[in-house]
Amino acid sequence: MSSLLAIYLRDHHAAGVAGARVAERVATTVGRDFGNDDLRRVASEIRQDLIMLEGIMSRLGVEPDRVKDTFSRIAERIGRLKLNGRLLRRSPLSDLLELETLVVGITGKQALWVSLREIPSINIEELDQLFERAEEQKRVVENARVAAAKRSFHSANTHVRRV
């Protein structure tokens, strides 16, 4: 097996580790605000997708990189610290940025599933199912993202003077 493929898989795994944590946080924070069970389902599926990737990696003889995974966890935690206009409570802007992060992550995961189609030993039907599931995940997260944008900017529009 190519060392480039191993690096690729490990990089996606590390991103998936961080993405699963973001998805869980979004399901808790945004899901609570919007009453959205779909976000909890998406978080669960994203965790399952990471397990599926680990299975593919195992079949190919690739172990996750503990150092990369640790750095991705640290980066995810640092990503929580953002200047969002609020000091003592969570800003609606945090919801929007985290949902946008999830959309980007899910899109990257879809690219992974498409790229892995080039590996003859991987079941294409399985990859197609994972791709379709990611498409549905992206739809749910995108709907929540649009709602979060409206919520974030609704009050901002009342304070902006038009020239």
pLDDT of residue 82: 61
Number of domains observed in the structure of the chain: 1
Structural domain includes residue 102? yes
Structural domain includes residue 160? no
**With 0-12 CB in 10 A as exposed, 13-18 as middle and 19+ as buried, what is 84?**
middle
55-77 pLDDT, tens per residue? 999 999 999 999 998 888 888 87
Check: CB of residue 94 under 8 Å from CB of residue 82. Answer: yes
Say which range, 95-99, 108-112, 129-133, 159-163, has the weakest mean pLDDT: 159-163
Say which range, 9-18, 115-124, 144-153, has the weakest mean pLDDT: 144-153
1-17 pLDDT, tens per residue? 579 999 999 999 999 99
pLDDT of residue 9: 97
Query: 18: domain range?
Result: 3-155
Structural domain includes residue 51? yes
Cα torsion 133, 9, 20, 77 to 10°: value is -150
Structural domain includes residue 163? no
Structural domain includes residue 82? yes
- As a whole number of angstroms, the distance between CA 48 and CA 3 comes to 25
Q: Which residue has the higher pLDDT, 86 or 98?
A: 98
Structure confidence at residue 157 as a pLDDT band (50, 70, 90): low
- As a whole number of angstroms, the distance between CA 73 and CA 1 comes to 27
pLDDT of residue 86: 56
* Mean pLDDT score, 126-142: 97
Does the pTM surpass 0.75? The reply is yes
Structural domain includes residue 86? yes
The CATH number of residue 68's host domain is 1.20.1260.10
